[in-house]
Structures are given as structure tokens and as C-alpha cells.
Chain A
Amino acid sequence: MAHPKRKISKTRRDKRRTHYKAAIPNVVNCSNCGAPTLYHRVCSECGYYKGQLAIEPKVKG
């Protein structure tokens, strides 16, 4: 079986990893309460989705 002839140097390894990036989530403000939410998700603060109440929010006690 074929094997690597040389160890990959730290520089070479790190250069490969420069393209490993975390994606930035597309955050918008909820149209009802203004809390930051993601698209196509129910607002976790107020339970609104597409401008309508979808899920009753939990009452914080």
C-alpha cells in the first residue's frame, strides 16, 4: 500500500486549515418582539412565526 513519504509540516497543515471557517448564522429580529431569531424558526422568546402566534411561550416563573 502507498504511504506518505514525508510528515506534513505544521505550516502546510495550517495552510490547509485556513479554509475551515465557521458560517455566520443569518440572524434577524423577530417581527413581533424584536428578539434575534433565525429565519424559518419560531421565535424562542414570544412564539411568533410569520407574524402570527404559533406556540404559546413558556411563562417564566
Chain B
Amino acid sequence: MRHGKKFNHLGRKSAHRKAMLANMACSLIEHKRIKTTLAKAKALRPYVEPMITRSKVNTTHNRRTVFSYLQNKEAVKELFDEIGGKVAARPGGYTRILRTGFRLGDAAEMCIIELVDYNETMGAKSTGAKKKRTRRSKAKAEDAPAADATETASDASTEAPAEGGES
């Protein structure tokens, strides 16, 4: 049974899929933007992003770990020497997938997957660190202790007469 096996097999056996993802990752690192099908792009994203994260710290161990996946020394060199420095400030989310339409022949949904930091035009105006957003309500956080205080106070007031009644 395939319960809980969530990732897309892309119609390939494990070795074929790994080889294809390695080739696609090398192409993405070399060209910074590749055109592919949406399913392959979505499979590539969780494959290549951890490697880009590793490229931020240029150590022999990291290089060898990435090389064990990519099997391409030019790609590893490009990744650690060029891309690693460029994405240093980005906390994940190094790739962008843009849907472009449907392929003639099999009507597969096509897209472009690119490295966010190498697209000069898209999102250029929103450069710099985004303001950190929080979904926690400040008002609630302040109310909660206050509410507790009033509850305990009311408890005390109800208890006090009861005790008085007993005695």
C-alpha cells in the first residue's frame, strides 16, 4: 500500500528519478532558470534547496555532501563559489516557480523554475529584509494575565463569605 508516501515518483524508478533530479539541479545551477513541467519543478524544489542552504557554508564536507548528489564538479564549484555568496542573506526559499502555460502535444502544464536572487526584474522593488510579521495578538497576550487576576480575585471574594457562613 502507498499510504503516506507523498512525493511524486514522476513515472520513474528510484535511480532514474535521482539521476533526472541531479541533472535538473545541475542545469538550474548553471543557467539559473530552467523551463520544465510543473510536476518536475515541484519535485526539484525540495531536492535543490537543501543543497543551496549547504552552499552558504563553504567547507570540504559540505562540498563533498553536495557532490555525492550532483556528481558534477562544475555545478558544485558554481554553487559554492557564486550562488552561495549571493543567497547568503536569504533564509530559505531560494527558488521561484512561475507557471507559463500548457505544452503542445500532451497539454502538460509548463513552468519556469529560477533562482530568486538571479531574477533582476521580479520583486526588485521589495528588496531588503521584510518586516517580521507575527500572528500573535498583542492585546490578547496582555488581556490573558489580567483576566486571570480578576478571576482569582472573584474566587477569593466568593470563598470569603462562604467561609464566613461556616464559622
In the bound complex, how far is the Cα of B99 from the Cα of A14, in angstroms?
37
Binds B, one of A4-12, A16-24, A40-48: A40-48
Determine if B119 is an interface residue (Cβ-Cβ < 8 Å): yes
Contact in complex: B98, A55 (CB < 8 Å):
yes
Determine if A28 is an interface residue (Cβ-Cβ < 8 Å): no
In the bound complex, how far is the Cα of B121 from the Cα of A38, in angstroms?
21
Knowing A42-B112, A49-B122 are in contact, say whether A55-B99 is a contact too (CB < 8 A). no
Contact in complex: A40, B123 (CB < 8 Å):
no
Which chain B positions have C-beta within 8 A of A38?
A: 101
The interface size of chain A toward B, counting residues with CB under 8 Å, comes to 10
Contact of B123 among A41, A52, A55 (CB under 8 A): A52
Contact in complex: A53, B101 (CB < 8 Å):
no
Give A48 Cβ to nearest chain B Cβ, in Å: 10
3 shortest interchain CB distances as A-B pairs: A53-B121, A41-B99, A54-B122
Extra A-B contacts (6), CB below 8 Å, given A52-B122, A54-B119: A38-B101, A41-B101, A42-B98, A42-B99, A42-B101, A44-B101
